[in-house]
Amino acid sequence: MTASTFPEPEVPTFSIVVPAYNEDSVLEAFHARLAATLDRLGETAEVIYINDGSHDRTRPVLDRLQTRDPRVAVIDLSRNFGKEVALTAGLHHARGQAVIVIDADLQDPPELIPELVAPWRERGVDVVYAQRIARAGESWLKRATAHLFYRLMQHVGRVHLPPDTGDYRLLSRRAVEALNQYPEQHRFMKGLFTWIGFEQVAVRYERDPRFAGRTKWSYAKLVNLAIEGITSFTSAPLRFASILGLAIAGLAFVDALWIIYKTLRYGDPVAGYPSLMTTILFLGGVQLTAIGILGEYLGRVFDETKHRPLYHVKDYRPARLGRVREPM
């Protein structure tokens, strides 16, 4: 121990929650930038890294960071549980007065943290989310489908999702307490963040061009995410299936009346094989779709009724708050 300072209090001002899955190549650079930002803020902080069952050297890298920086905490999950659950594990363990959620892959610039902190500090805003200034690089199809999805969620799901927003945000203590009360297995975090309410504001920022590589979000993954979002927040598709069924039945009834009239009036020459086929195929499709929708919800009911724990912690090494910080 070199210089002695006052011991830091047990409850840090900030908890930074960072889920990490196979990020050994970027963690050193990420932590350097994060640590520099926290140093400038000059307040107590813990940085909780959640190792989400990585197959690479993420864990040893995190251990090395922890020996160098006493603010680092490491949660090692027993396997890969996915980002939403890793994030949830971090929120459960965070002790800070405000919690900042950030990705490890440097797509969320750590230097933005002071701007996220300001509204919370000055006005007691509970949720401050980082909103990217829309990029020109995206195709119109991507933008159109995204727009449609947000509109749908707003009108049908009654949850306002801010567009161009990831998980990067600051949450006040009471917002975190609120989120920690949600036990569901299917965790559409973007939706839950806004679902809790409280005062929420955006901080806009220009996103750095992608450092390297391509987005991991294929269209298939986006469709899955959309289904996850819709089924987590609204049962409207079920209602839609019922209404569609009723409407088709109504039309069929009118058609039946028309056929009876026609037969009485003009006799009954056997015709109409093509229209019969299309009708049968169309109705078959409608029925399978409706069963599929039912299945989506039933599957979720099944998952929720098991009441399984969301994750298992293999190892938790808390931040050594209260220790003197050694020079890095």
The verdict on 104 binding ligand UDP (CB under 6 A) reads yes
Q: Which secondary-structure segment (H or E) carries 252? A: helix 236-266
Q: Which of residues 1-20 bind Mg ion (CB under 5 A)?
A: none
Beta-carbon contacts of 165 under 8 Å, excluding residues fewer than 6 positions away, are 129, 130, 131, 132, 190, 202
Smallest separation (angstroms) from Mg ion to the CB of 249: 47
For ligand UDP, which is the closer residue by CB, 217 or 282? 217
Q: Edge-to-edge strands of the sheet including 98-101?
A: 200-205, 127-132, 165-172, 98-101, 14-20, 45-51, 72-77, 313-317
Q: How many CB atoms lie within 10 A of CB 210?
A: 13
Q: Which stretch binds Mg ion (CB under 5 A): 60-68, 107-115, 230-238, 248-256?
A: 107-115
The verdict on 107 binding ligand UDP (CB under 6 A) reads yes
The verdict on 52 binding ligand UDP (CB under 6 A) reads yes
The verdict on 228 binding ligand UDP (CB under 6 A) reads no
Structure tokens given for 194: 């806004």
Q: Which stretch binds ligand UDP (CB under 6 A): 98-106, 136-144, 190-198, 277-285?
A: 98-106
The verdict on 178 binding ligand UDP (CB under 6 A) reads no
Instruction: Give me the amino acid identity at 197.
Output: G
Among 107, 145, 165, 185, binds Mg ion (CB under 5 A): 107
Q: Are 62 and 72 in contact (CB under 8 A)?
A: yes
Q: Which stretch binds Mg ion (CB under 5 A): 12-20, 105-113, 154-162, 257-265?
A: 105-113
Among 8, 14, 17, 21, binds ligand UDP (CB under 6 A): 21
Structure tokens given for 32: 């350097």
Among 105, 108, 167, 228, binds Mg ion (CB under 5 A): 105
Among 8, 69, 76, 105, binds ligand UDP (CB under 6 A): 105
Q: How many residues bind ligand UDP (CB under 6 A)?
A: 15
297 CA to centre of own chain: 19
Q: What is the spatial distance between Cα 146 and Cα 279, in angstroms, rounded to a whole number?
A: 33
On the CB side of 119, how many CA atoms lie within 13 Å of its CA? Answer: 20
Q: How many CB atoms lie within 10 A of CB 227?
A: 13
Smallest separation (angstroms) from ligand UDP to the CB of 139: 17
The verdict on 80 binding ligand UDP (CB under 6 A) reads yes
Given the rule CB under 6 A, which residues bind ligand UDP? 19-21, 23, 52, 80, 82-83, 86, 103-105, 107, 216-217
Given the rule CB under 5 A, which residues bind Mg ion? 105, 107
